Amino acid sequence: MRVLVVGSGGREHALVWKIAQSKKVGKIFCAPGNGGIKELAEIVNIKADDIDALLNFAKENKIDLTVAGPEVPLVKGIVDRFTEEGLRIFGPTKELAMLEGSKVFSKETMKRFGAPTADFKVFTDAAKAKEYLRKKGAPIVVKADGLAAGKGVVVAKTIEEAEDAIESMLVKKIFGSAGEKIILEDCLEGEEASILVFSDGKNIVPLVSSQDHKRIFDNDKGLNTGGMGVYSPAPVVSGEIFDEIIESSFRPIIDGFSKEGKFYKGVLYGGLMITKDGPMLLEFNVRFGDPETQAILPRLKSDLVDALTACIDGTLDKIDIQWDERPCLCVVLASGGYPGSYEKHKEIIGLIDVKKWEDVIVFHAGTAFEDGKIFTSGGRVLGVTGMGRDIKQAKLNAYSAIDRIKFKNMQYRKDIGDRAIKRLADSV
C-alpha cells in the first residue's frame, strides 16, 4: 500500500510514525512534511492546501490511501475532490468539515441534535452584539465564525474586553471573512478535556482521552497557543464521565447526520468542559488534534491503517482496537517569542542523544533538514513524548529527554502532567 499524509506538523509526524509500523504499507509520502518526517517518508514539496497539486500527485503516484492532517484542506473539500476521482481518502466531506470550518454551523448542529453546549447567540452587527453583551454581562466568550488559526476565540473577563473583541472582529475585521459572523457564548467553568472518536458514518469507536494545555506559561498563564503539552489518559474524564460524553456529545451528532443521509467519516475531535453540571461541548474539530495525537498514537497497539480504512469502508464495527494501558505525556518545545513573533533557523542539538531512549519519542513540528542538520522553522518546534508505568514516570521520561535537547531561545512548560498527578493523588 502507498500512503500520502498531508501536512507538516507534529500531528503529521505522529501519523507517519504510526502508519510506518503497518505491515500493509510499503511506501509513505508526506506533503510538505518536516525535518523529522523525512526519516520515515518521502517528502513532497506541495503545500497542504494545494488540493489540485495533491490530487495530481496522488493519481500519478498511484496512492492507495491519503490522510489529511490539518483542517484547511478538509474545509476546502479535499475529500470530495479525491473521492470524485475514485481515490481513497480519510476524512469528512466539505459539508461536514464545517463543524470546524464554521463555529456557527457547529453550535447550531449541537443545538439541533441535542448535544450539551453553552447557550449562545449569533451576530453580524456590532451594535446588536454589544446590546446583547450588556444584558448578559461578563465573563463571556466571543468567537469568530471561521478558521482563524486558533486565535478566533476570546474569553472576555470584563464587558470592556468583550466589546474590544466584538469591535476587532466585526468592525476592524482582523480575521477578514472568518469574522463576518461572531458568536457570543456563555462562559463555562470547569476543567477542559479532549475526546476523539473514529466514525464510519454510523459506528463510533472512541480513542483514549487526553488533556491539552493551551496557555504558553506554567499554571495556565499567558496567551493561548496551539497547545504546549498534553497527556493521556485524562483522569477528569475517567469511567462513567467518558461513557456519558460518547453517548451525549458524539452519538447525537453522528446519528443525526446519518438520519439526514450524511455520513461523517473520519476522526471527530470534541473539546469539552467538564462542569459541575456535567460535560459540555466547547467545539468540534474534524481532524486529529495537535498535540493530542502525539500522546494518543503511542498508546495505540493496533494497526492504525486498519482503523483508517474501516472508517472509509463503513466497517468500523468489524475491527478491535487495542490500547497500551500506560500513560503518555508530550511536552512541546517552542521558539522564543511564540505565540507572537519569533526567529527561525536555530540549530537543534541533542536529538541523536535521545533517539534510542526507551519509552521516548520526539515528534518534529516546526523543523527543517539542511546539510545533515536540523533547524527550527516554526513556532512549535518539537513534541517530546514519554511513556511510563504511571503519569509520574511518563513525565520523568519526557523531561529527562528535554534536558538533552537544545536550541537558541527554546521555551517550554515545566508543569505538564502536574494536574493529572494531583488529581490522582487526591482520589486515593
Q: State which fold the 191-318 domain adopts.
A: D-amino Acid Aminotransferase; Chain A, domain 1 (3.30.470)
Residues 338-352 have pLDDT tens digits of 999 999 999 999 999
**Homologous superfamily of the 328-427 domain (CATH):** Phosphoribosylglycinamide synthetase, C-terminal domain (3.90.600.10)
The one-letter amino acid code at 295 reads A
User: Strands 215-217 and 89-90, how do they pair?
Assistant: unpaired
Q: What is the pLDDT of residue 397?
A: 98
* pLDDT at residue 115 tops 80: yes
- For domain 2-90, the question of CATH label 3.40.50.20 is answered with yes
Residue 267 clears pLDDT 90, i.e. is over it: yes
> What is the predicted pLDDT for the residue at 206?
97
Q: What's the confidence (pLDDT) of residue 239?
A: 84
Domain ranges of the chain: 2-90, 119-186, 191-318, 328-427
Residue 151 has pLDDT above 90, yes or no: no
What is the mean pLDDT of the segment spanning 256-273? 97
Q: What is the pTM of this model?
A: 0.96
Residue 8 has pLDDT above 90, yes or no: yes
**Quick one: pLDDT at residue 238?**
82
Q: How confident is the model at residue 200 (pLDDT cuts 50, 70, 90)?
A: very high
pLDDT tens by residue, 276-321: 999 999 999 999 999 999 999 999 999 999 999 999 999 999 999 9
> What is the model's pLDDT at position 427?
78
Share of the chain above pLDDT 70, in %: 100
Q: What is the pLDDT of residue 89?
A: 98
CA distance 340 to 164: 19
Single out the residue of 274, 369, 364, 341 nearest to residue 8, CA to CA: 364
We find that the CATH architecture of domain 119-186 is: 2-Layer Sandwich (3.30)
Each residue of 375-402: pLDDT tens digit?
999 999 999 999 999 999 999 999 999 9
Handedness of CA 149, 220, 207, 9 (dihedral sign): positive
pLDDT at 149 over 90: no
What rounded mean pLDDT belongs to the chain?
96
Residues 408/13/102/95 CA torsion (nearest 10 deg): 160
Burial of 217 (0-12, 13-18, 19+ CB in 10 A): middle
* pLDDT, tens digit, 9 for 90 and up, residues 206-251: 999 999 999 999 999 998 898 999 999 999 998 899 999 999 999 9
